[in-house]
Amino acid sequence: MAHQNTNEPLADLTRPGQLNSAGDSRALYLKLFSGEMFKGFQRNTIARDLVMKRTLKKGKSLQFIYTGRTTAEYHVPGQSILGNDDGAPPVAEKTITIDDLLISSAFLYELDETLAHYDLRSEISRKIGYALAEKYDRLIFRAIAKGARQASAVSKTNFVEPGGTQVSVGANDADAFSPTGLVSAFYDAAAALDEKGVSSDGRVGVLNPRQYYELIQQVGENGLVNRDAQGDSRQKGNGIVEIAGIKIYKSMNIPFFGNYGTKYGLTNGPVNPGHTGSFVGSDTALEDGGGVTGMNNNYGEQAAFDKSCGLIFQKEAAGVVEAIGPQVQVTSGDISVVYQGDVILGRMACGADFLNPAAAVELVVGTVSQDVNGVTDTTGAAAFGTTYPANA
């Protein structure tokens, strides 16, 4: 057993933050933090794997190409084949630009870390991951809702490709929580996607948690549940309900009656449980032209989504471009000495927008169609997609 002179440094002290008992005593702590941040991000984002994701290098935007359809015709004997006379298929493009750097940070005072009886860095890292994931999902879901109201970029005469779709779950706000209305809306959405030639691979729906739990209580035993996921999995609500081949997820980050999180105060809607905190409500930071800097894509106005109550889409509905994936940075050296602490920073650079409007379906209350700037379309839904009535 080693005995230590009380007047000398503890040379045999175990330093769990060192690499092989040498060097920076906090080296491994920083790596631990990185892992915790990634866990916080990955566990709280669902949209990243449900849409088209691309990594951007050496540029500010990424181009996506649309190719429209062409026609078949009978050959005339002796006539040269030099392509159809109509010049089809038409081609169009969609460009997604990287928004400015998205960050979440905290300053950790060294004395506080010393006195704390719990792991401050691990806890802060998770909260930073949550913040980035929340914003990430909101960008993508807002882009999908926008796409459901758009015409296709391929607009050549006689070769116009199908646009987005809105499906009404009913005339009243309370209908957004009706299992019957939701089931009918899912079948309407599936039929619309089929009719518009959208692949059945990768179709998903995202609902507010209250909608999800109402749905699973009522239809769980009626043949609409994926039989491969029962028991505990069913209770966790991790996308195990399937209607018309559409796998269903729940998220607090879809645009829901003009709010994120939930919407209380609706006629016959959910009861406010009280003490909801500061993070339930609208996200005006996503509003285009609202004085918010850093956005290089148009994510629409909050008021434009006050009738929105769910999304159904296929992975081609939207795209997200990442120049910098979720990363962590921590100060060290002289900076840490001067400030007697570390700045812990989570960051990413990304941008999102709709791609194929035909692959996007927005669930709405009523038949009101609005553009992304909140202007009511009084001429019908032709410019913004197709609106189906409930139980069509």
Amino acid at 342: D
Q: What is the mean pLDDT of residues 275-293?
A: 68
Ranges 133-147, 164-178, 369-383: which has the least confidence: 369-383
Ranges 49-63, 185-199, 256-270: which has the least confidence: 256-270
289-309: pLDDT as tens digits: 445 568 888 888 777 888 899
Q: How would residue 219 be classed by pLDDT, with cut points 50, 70 and 90?
A: low
Burial of 70 (C-beta count, 10 Å sphere; 0-12/13-18/19+)? middle
Tell me the H-state helices in the chain.
27-42, 110-115, 120-147, 179-195, 209-219, 232-236, 334-339
Residue ranges and CATH numbers for the domains of the chain are 28-65+89-272+279-388 (3.30.2400.10)
47-79: pLDDT as tens digits: 888 998 888 888 888 888 888 888 888 888 988
Q: How far apart, in Å, are the Cα atoms of 330 and each of 30, 104, 121? A: 7, 12, 11
CA angle 78, 83, 84 (to 5 degrees): 95
Instruction: Check whether 361 has a pLDDT greater than 80.
Output: yes
Q: What percent of the chain has pLDDT over 90?
A: 26
Q: How would residue 193 be classed by pLDDT, with cut points 50, 70 and 90?
A: very high
More confident residue, 344 or 315: 315
